[in-house]
């Protein structure tokens, strides 16, 4: 029993926010324990939260497999590679994914050991600002009680459920269920054309499903650059993803082993109800913070109307010494945002100075090509009254992109017209998820478009598009007409 000990920090949750916070706390010499309740489908404790178990990592594993299959099917022939008989074994694809997940979740356990972070598998409940009770997930019985100087809540988020289409018998599934399908559905419906809908839609469409995405809003990816969002939509439509905007789900029922849905076409002057039948339906309409059951109201930890735990810029809650980070607090629900908050809070608890730059959180959607952006969009600049100069460069003019036969997309750089500082970068291309890192770096270092223009980039690389886009801000691009 760990009863007598007083911990410096108890971290609740071992997702990318919590496990990173715990490791950094321990590195800074704080006596740290991390409590996590996640059980995998074998009923074993598994660290890494949603990201590693049923989110970022398994989806990227399936995106990789499905992309290779798609390439072999329709792109190899241009390289002179013939594949007479091509097949995909979904079971093998799924077990490779499970292995990737298992290696990485066990990797966190090794990191905990290496850094002297203690781990407790169980459900934590905060009973006072210095006390936490731990319950078994299986028996629900209390088996431990911890005393601590600081608490970090990193309990993450869960998929939003739709009353009109509750999860059912493997026919109506959430994102976790959609990663576990054991065969390719002939017709797949997806409610929500956000990041999850688009990524899962891409996976199953590449493997042969006829995919229809129903999106309630009238705009596609409204938080992204308008021009790039339009390019992504056009590209995905060419890849046979049927994206229907203004389409709100009304009802769903299972009949004859199919999912029958009714949805409303809100874009028409006269509201029209439409019907569709699918083999599977994925619900991907957002996520909600896991802020219930972690503490009682008597503790005084305040939440907003959407149940996010209220925190200040240091991620401190309304109770001294209780912090909250990651998906359970305001800001985008992104693993890297949670991790950075984890590092910041660890440093603050250790008495150091730390901050997160919330203006520079990169966003990526892992379609093919990928969409990635950081900083401001042109629309945001316009609303804020910031005068801008914009440069862009299409991958059609990139030698490397041509050699790769990946010429779709462009880089767009937005610079402040007065200071020339780069304030927004928007990319649609293969490896945009990698390219965006240099954009974040340049903006964090407060580089000007001229700084980037004066930097030497290796040739031939996709990164040269960033260089050319910066040159084009001042009408000096070499490989396009300015």
Residues serving a catalytic function are: 459
Taking CB under 6 A as the binding criterion, the range among 40-48, 118-126, 209-217, 314-322 that sits at the site for ligand NAI is: 209-217
What CA–CA distance (Å, rounded) separates 130 from 321? 8
Q: Which of 112, 308, 366, 395 binds ligand NAI (CB under 6 A)?
A: 366
Examine residue 35 and tell whether it contacts ligand NAI (CB under 6 A). Answer: no
β-sheet with 258-265: strand ranges across: 247-255, 258-265, 272-278
* Residue indicated by tokens 């459900």: 123
CB-count exposure of residue 252 (10 Å: 0-12, 13-18, 19+): buried
Q: What are the tokens at 113?
A: 């050991």
Examine residue 301 and tell whether it contacts ligand NAI (CB under 6 A). Answer: no
Non-local (6+) Cβ contacts of 387 within 8 A are 381, 416, 417, 418
Examine residue 215 and tell whether it contacts ligand NAI (CB under 6 A). Answer: yes
Examine residue 369 and tell whether it contacts ligand NAI (CB under 6 A). Answer: no
Examine residue 390 and tell whether it contacts ligand NAI (CB under 6 A). Answer: no
Examine residue 286 and tell whether it contacts ligand NAI (CB under 6 A). Answer: yes
Report the greatest alpha carbon distance in the chain: 72
Examine residue 436 and tell whether it contacts ligand NAI (CB under 6 A). Answer: no
Alpha carbon separation from 383 to 220, 226, 425 (Å, rounded)? 20, 14, 17
Closest to ligand NAI by CB, 295 or 366: 366
What CA–CA distance (Å, rounded) separates 249 from 162? 9
Closest to ligand NAI by CB, 224 or 449: 224
Examine residue 172 and tell whether it contacts ligand NAI (CB under 6 A). Answer: no
Q: What are the tokens at 48?
A: 């890494």
Taking CB under 6 A as the binding criterion, the range among 83-91, 214-222, 296-304, 449-457 that sits at the site for ligand NAI is: 214-222
Non-local (6+) Cβ contacts of 371 within 8 A are 221, 224, 228, 229, 232, 364, 365, 427, 428, 432
Examine residue 214 and tell whether it contacts ligand NAI (CB under 6 A). Answer: yes
Rg (C-alpha) for the chain, rounded Å, is: 24
Other beta carbons within 10 Å of 163:
6
Closest to ligand NAI by CB, 261 or 452: 261
Q: Which of 16, 18, 192, 424 binds ligand NAI (CB under 6 A)?
A: 192
Closest to ligand NAI by CB, 109 or 262: 262
CA-closest candidate to residue 89, choices 72, 73, 67, 65: 65
Site string for ligand NAI, 235-264 (x = CB under 6 A): -------------xx---------------
Closest to ligand NAI by CB, 332 or 475: 332
Let me know how many helices (H) and strands (E) the chain has, helices first. Answer: 13, 22
Contact 322, 292 (CB under 8 A): no
CA 374, distance to chain mean position in Å, is 14
* Shortest spacing between CB 481 and ligand NAI, in angstroms: 34
Closest to ligand NAI by CB, 248 or 330: 248
Taking CB under 6 A as the binding criterion, the range among 80-88, 328-336, 442-450, 461-469 that sits at the site for ligand NAI is: 328-336
Closest to ligand NAI by CB, 369 or 394: 369
Examine residue 189 and tell whether it contacts ligand NAI (CB under 6 A). Answer: no
Examine residue 361 and tell whether it contacts ligand NAI (CB under 6 A). Answer: no
Taking CB under 6 A as the binding criterion, the range among 34-42, 127-135, 145-153, 359-367 that sits at the site for ligand NAI is: 359-367
Q: Which residues pair with 414 in a beta bridge?
A: 390, 424
Closest to ligand NAI by CB, 7 or 204: 204
* Shortest spacing between CB 173 and ligand NAI, in angstroms: 13
Mark 314-332 as b/e (b = at least 16 C-beta within 10 Å).
ebbbebeebbbbbbbbebe
- Residue nearest ligand NAI (C-beta atom): 194
* Shortest spacing between CB 77 and ligand NAI, in angstroms: 30
Examine residue 337 and tell whether it contacts ligand NAI (CB under 6 A). Answer: no
Fill in the DSSP letter of residue 54.
H
* Shortest spacing between CB 333 and ligand NAI, in angstroms: 3
* Shortest spacing between CB 381 and ligand NAI, in angstroms: 22
What CA–CA distance (Å, rounded) separates 235 from 368? 8
Interface with ligand NAI (CB under 6 A): 162, 191-197, 199, 214-217, 248-249, 284-287, 332-334, 364-366
């Amino acid at each position: 029993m760990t009863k007598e000990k007083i911990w410096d920090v108890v971290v609740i949750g071992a997702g990318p926010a919590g496990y990173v916070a715990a490791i950094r706390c321990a590195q800074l010499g704080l006596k740290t324990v991390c409590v996590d309740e996640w059980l995998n489908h074998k009923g074993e404790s598994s660290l890494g939260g949603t990201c590693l178990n049923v989110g970022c990592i398994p989806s990227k594993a399936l995106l990789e497999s499905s992309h290779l299959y798609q390439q072999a099917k329709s792109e190899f022939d241009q390289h002179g590679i013939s594949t007479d008989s091509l097949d995909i074994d979904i079971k093998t694809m799924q077990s490779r994914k499970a292995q990737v997940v298992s290696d990485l979740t066990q990797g966190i356990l090794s990191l905990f050991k290496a850094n002297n972070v203690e781990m407790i598998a169980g459900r934590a409940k905060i009973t006072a600002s210095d006390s936490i009770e731990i319950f078994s997930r299986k028996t629900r019985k209390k088996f431990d009680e911890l005393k601590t100087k600081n608490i970090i809540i990193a309990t993450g988020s869960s998929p939003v459920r739709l009353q009109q289409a509750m999860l059912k018998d493997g026919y109506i599934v959430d994102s976790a269920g959609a990663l576990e399908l054991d065969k390719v559905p002939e017709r797949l419906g997806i409610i929500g054309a956000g990041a999850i809908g688009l990524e899962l839609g891409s996976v199953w469409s590449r493997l042969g499903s006829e995919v229809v995405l129903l999106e309630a809003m009238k705009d596609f990816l409204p938080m992204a650059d308008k021009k790039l969002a339009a390019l992504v939509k056009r590209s995905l439509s060419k890849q046979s993803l049927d994206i229907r905007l203004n389409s709100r789900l009304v009802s769903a029922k299972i009949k004859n082993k199919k999912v029958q849905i009714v949805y409303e076409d809100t874009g028409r002057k006269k509201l029209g109800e439409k019907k569709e039948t699918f083999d599977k339906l994925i619900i991907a309409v957002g996520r909600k913070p896991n802020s219930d059951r972690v503490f009682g109201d008597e503790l005084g930890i305040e939440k907003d109307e959407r149940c996010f735990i209220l925190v200040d810029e240091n991620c401190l809650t309304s109770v001294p010494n209780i912090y909250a980070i990651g998906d359970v607090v305001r800001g985008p629900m992104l693993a890297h945002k949670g991790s950075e908050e984890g590092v910041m809070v660890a440093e603050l608890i250790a008495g150091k100075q730390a901050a997160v730059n919330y203006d520079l959180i990169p966003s990526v959607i892992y379609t093919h090509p990928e969409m990635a952006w950081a900083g401001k969009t042109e629309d945001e600049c316009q609303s804020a009254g910031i005068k801008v100069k914009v440069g862009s460069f299409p991958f059609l003019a990139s030698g490397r992109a041509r050699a790769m036969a990946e010429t779709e997309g462009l880089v767009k750089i937005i610079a402040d017209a007065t200071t020339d500082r780069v304030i927004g970068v928007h990319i649609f291309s293969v490896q945009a998820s990698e390219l965006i890192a240099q954009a974040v770096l340049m903006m964090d270092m407060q580089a000007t478009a001229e700084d980037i223009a004066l930097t030497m980039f290796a040739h031939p690389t996709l990164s040269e598009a960033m260089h050319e886009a910066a040159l084009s801000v001042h009408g000096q691009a070499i490989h396009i007409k300015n």
